[in-house]
């Protein structure tokens, strides 16, 4: 089991540098693009491109008005972005090298939707990564 996307497995994190495109705009990380997708406003989305770190993008994303359909579209959007990220040959090989290990986005920031904190969580990020790894 891989229960943290740090150190050797940091490449699994949405904060890992990996350019992805969302609706015609290129972003430096999955986190930047995912946070931008929370808004339908083009100006707000472009702001995310200029943010220096994925942490900055996450913080800014917490302060914007969410699009009305966010709860319905956030998982498919995340999957789309992850599929782009792992088309990269090196990252694809590294993901495949995790074999059949369960991928758990263990965290200490109480994200129980995308990951697991204190043994509790839906681990949706880990599930998407395993789906992509398994060619589904």
Angle at 117 between CA 7 and CA 49, to 5 degrees: 60
Q: Is the residue at 111 inside a domain?
A: yes
Q: Read off the pLDDT band of 44 (50, 70, 90).
A: very high
What local confidence, expressed as pLDDT, does residue 49 receive?
95
Number of domains comprising the chain: 1
Distance CA(76)–CA(4), nearest Å, equals 23
Range of the domain at 38: 7-133
- CATH, residue 61: 1.10.357.40
What local confidence, expressed as pLDDT, does residue 1 receive?
93
Please state, rounded to an integer, the average pLDDT across all residues of the chain: 96
């Amino acid at each position: 089991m891989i229960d943290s996307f740090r150190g050797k497995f940091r490449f699994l994190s949405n904060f890992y540098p990996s350019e992805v495109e969302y609706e015609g705009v290129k972003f430096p990380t999955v986190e930047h693009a995912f946070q931008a997708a929370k808004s339908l406003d083009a100006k707000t989305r472009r702001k995310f491109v200029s943010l220096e770190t994925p942490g900055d993008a996450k913080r800014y994303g917490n302060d914007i008005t969410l699009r009305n359909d966010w709860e319905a579209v956030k998982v498919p959007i995340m999957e789309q972005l992850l599929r782009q990220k792992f088309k990269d040959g090196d990252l694809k090989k590294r993901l495949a090298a995790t074999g059949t290990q369960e991928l758990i986005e263990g965290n200490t920031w109480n994200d129980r939707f995308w990951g697991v904190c204190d043994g509790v969580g839906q681990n949706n990020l880990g599930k998407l990564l395993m789906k992509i790894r398994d060619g589904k």
